[in-house]
Structure 1
Amino acid sequence: MSTTQTPPVLAAELAQAWADIQRYHSELPDLAAPESLIGESSSACGHELSFERLLHEAVHGIAAARGIRDTSRAGRYHNRRFLAIAEELGLDHPEEPHPSSGFSLVTLSPEAKRRYRPTIERLQRALRAHTAATSSDTTRTFRGPAARHGSSGGGVRVKAVCDCGRNVRVVPSVLAQAPIVCGGCGKPFRIPEVAGAA
């Protein structure tokens, strides 16, 4: 079995896990680009990909759907509005906010662990397979921007656009793995041709 299939499989598992969350929280918007979570890290939203981090991202999705500003300081500080939605989704939190990231350090409650147990187990298997594949063959597998370009990952994202004019910043190799589809118009994002390029 080719290890190059692992990223699409992981993307599919992420999309399925997101759909499992939507079964309990119908106002959660669709996850337009599960590939964008692979290999990414955020000091505010959690360093590694897991179901816990996915549920954290779902809190932001519901906040966006409700028109609630759940962060400040360029998205680093997670406020009490974030916290209220996190509690709805089954996330526990520290008593006091962190000075720079607020209530971002949420964890799965025992109830959420029970509710999503099959989902968590399935995603963990996919993540383990992805990690094994990307650490064994650095020339043929996707490794994420930090692994390829050093921890800073500076300058690796470019603007990708869709037909309705929306845009996202994306690592070109992530876009090459599978299409990232716009939730607005349903068309794939693409990197525009640079004028004068061959």
Structure 2
Amino acid sequence: MSTTPPVLAAELAVAWADIQRHHPELPDLAAPESLIGESSSACGNELSFERLLHEAVHGIAAARGIRDTSRAGRYHNRRFLAIADEMGLDHAEEPHPSSGFSLVVMRPDTRKRYRVTIDRLQRALKAHSVATTADTARSFRGPAARHGSSGGGVRVKAVCDCGRNVRVVPSVLAQAPIMCGACGQPFRIPEVVGVG
């Protein structure tokens, strides 16, 4: 039995492809599943089309070899901001002290350009939410759901053979491989070697 929500993953891939249609240099989304259940205070907590555009800004920055964040990816700098502007996102005049220009929102013309895609993704997100929050007498939701936690867990460093790394919740990585956009190999959590 797969733990990946296939309909939502497919809709995320379709939405990403629509963004690529308007921004051809945007790399492919290797693992749509990596966005599901992922949250970041720097990038926004809720999965939405706006959040997908935010992630696409990071994708274009990576494709251009631009370092668009600092402080372990939390602070979004003016290079991030310049690409966000190209993508049709607005921002505050002044950076947030800890996250910089991470809080971006779609401009009305951007929302209009992607209206059909936004509607499709919203329906898929709503269906996913209903499916994952439906409580019945026969459903077990685990300790995170019972105690009010988002269930996101602690992020650990996952590495790729080419030397790149990402922070990821192990359970997200266990759902499906997250592929490196630079070399195409999967990220993995390195073995911890004991001392002594």
**TM-score, scaled relative to structure 1:** 0.78
Q: Which runs of 5+ in 2 are unaligned?
A: none
Maintained 8 Å contact 2:39/2:45 = yes
The code of the aligned residue for 2:39 comes to: S
Instruction: Encode CA deviations 1:117-143: one digit per residue, 9 max, x unaligned.
Output: 011000000000000000014886999
* Structure 2 counterpart of 1:78: 76
Instruction: Encode CA deviations 1:76-117: one digit per residue, 9 max, x unaligned.
Output: 111111111000000011111111111111000011001000
Between the aligned partners of 1:5 and 1:181, the Cα distance in structure 2 is 18
* Structure 1 counterpart of 2:30: 32
Q: Which runs of 5+ in 1 are unaligned?
A: none
1:52 aligned counterpart, secondary structure: helix
2:116 aligned to 115, 118, 124, which one? Answer: 118
Task: Please state how far the C-alpha of 1:174 moved relative to its aligned partner.
Answer: 3.7
Maintained 8 Å contact 1:7/1:177 = no
Seen in structure 2, the aligned counterparts of structure 1 residues 103 and 66 have a Cα distance that, compared at 3 Å, is same
* Structure 1 counterpart of 2:87: 89
1:12 aligned to 4, 10, 13, which one? Answer: 10
Kindly report the root-mean-square deviation, in angstroms, between the aligned alpha carbons of the 2 structures: 3.4
Seen in structure 2, the aligned counterparts of structure 1 residues 140 and 176 have a Cα distance that, compared at 3 Å, is farther
Task: Please state how far the C-alpha of 1:56 moved relative to its aligned partner.
Answer: 0.4
1:106 aligned to 104, 129, 143, which one? Answer: 104
2:58 aligned to 57, 60, 66, which one? Answer: 60
Instruction: Encode CA deviations 1:124-173: one digit per residue, 9 max, x unaligned.
Output: 00000000000014886999x964883574447685x7787877655454
2:19 aligned to 18, 21, 26, which one? Answer: 21
Task: Please state how far the C-alpha of 1:49 moved relative to its aligned partner.
Answer: 0.2
Seen in structure 2, the aligned counterparts of structure 1 residues 17 and 166 have a Cα distance that, compared at 3 Å, is same
Query: Percent of pairs identical after alignment?
Result: 80
Seen in structure 2, the aligned counterparts of structure 1 residues 193 and 42 have a Cα distance that, compared at 3 Å, is closer
Task: Count residues with an aligned counterpart.
Answer: 191
* Structure 2 counterpart of 1:129: 127
Between the aligned partners of 2:88 and 2:173, the Cα distance in structure 1 is 32
Between the aligned partners of 1:141 and 1:10, the Cα distance in structure 2 is 22
Seen in structure 2, the aligned counterparts of structure 1 residues 98 and 190 have a Cα distance that, compared at 3 Å, is closer
The code of the aligned residue for 2:90 comes to: D
